[in-house]
Copies of this chain bind each other. A is one copy, B any other.
Amino acid sequence: MQGHPRRLIEGLWCATLTPLDADGRIDHLRLVDHVRRLLAQGVVGVAPFGTTGEGPSLSTAQRRRGVEALLAAGIAPARVLPGTGCASLAETIELTRHAVTSGCIGALVLPPFFWKQPSDDGVFAWYARLIDGVADARLRVVLYHLPQVSAVPLSPDLVARLAAAFPDVVVGVKDSGGDWAHTRALLARVPQLTVVIGHEPDLPKLVRAGGAGTICGVANVYPDLVAALLLPDVAPEREARIAAFIEILFAQPFLPALKSILADRTADDAWRSVCPPLVALASSQRERLRSALRAARFA
């Protein structure tokens, strides 16, 4: 994993969960505590307000203030890659410019997700206008492929076209599609980019293929489990272990389940809150989740 001159980020990054207060606003104190704990546990950096961070459910003002709270608490901006994608181009420009002027290492940018099946030309134009609109030479963009939620895939061709048009800006791609064939195609097509993935079980393959690392959700609750997958020559039982965890997680609505696990691990029920239309796990679901984790010996 060494020696890649253009890698924006590397290793274990966390797609940070967002703690919410009773009125659905970001709980800044808990957010800062959580990020400090993650960094102390060996996480290299955090990507707040992406999908796992329920970014699109928050307002642009909430997202800006959340980034400001992290930086004001002394979290190094080089360790913060905010998710800034919105359905609206103007709002994505606003959040991305805020990330840049705040000194953040870059921005993780979902494609616009309201219109379905936009053309590659249309998505290209959207990112081009974003980059022109931010108009700051410090801007570094990580594209965000998450078709199962955004409904807007970023094909390797489109990624390559953006990277060629904006070589100093479009420096990475987060592939959270969970489709190794797509990741492999990206690695072959845009070897100059920082390629990170969200689907933890593919990490040993990614490391062997020369990928950069991960921005993932499991790191919120079991960073060690993910870190082990980034080492060379991962033992097969490590791969089986993460696969078992993912299977348990996705047996429930995964994001409320992840928050529920964090609530249990930190003994802090406040972590269970989610933004509608997500729904916090019912007590019966929580019990099933806990039993499954206990049975598989996840402490």
A interface residues (Cβ-Cβ under 8 A, vs B): 24-25, 56-62, 86-91, 94, 111-116, 118-119, 121-123, 125-126, 129, 148-152, 275-279
Contact = CB atoms under 8 A, between A and B. Distances in A.
Contacts of A24: 89-90, 129
Contacts of A148: 116
A57 B151 contact: no
A111 B56 contact: no
B88 A277 contact: no
Contacts of A149: 114-116
Interface SS of chain A: loop
26 contacts: A24-B89, A24-B90, A24-B129, A56-B114, A57-B88, A57-B89, A57-B112, A57-B114, A57-B115, A59-B88, A59-B90, A59-B91, A59-B94, A62-B90, A87-B113, A89-B275, A112-B276, A113-B113, A113-B114, A114-B150, A116-B148, A121-B279, A123-B277, A125-B276, A126-B277, A151-B151
Nearest to A121: B279
Given A277-B111, A277-B112, A90 B58 contact: yes
Given A56-B114, A57-B89, 19 more contacts: A24-B89, A25-B90, A57-B115, A59-B60, A60-B60, A60-B91, A61-B90, A86-B87, A87-B113, A89-B275, A111-B277, A112-B276, A116-B148, A119-B279, A121-B279, A123-B277, A125-B277, A129-B276, A151-B151
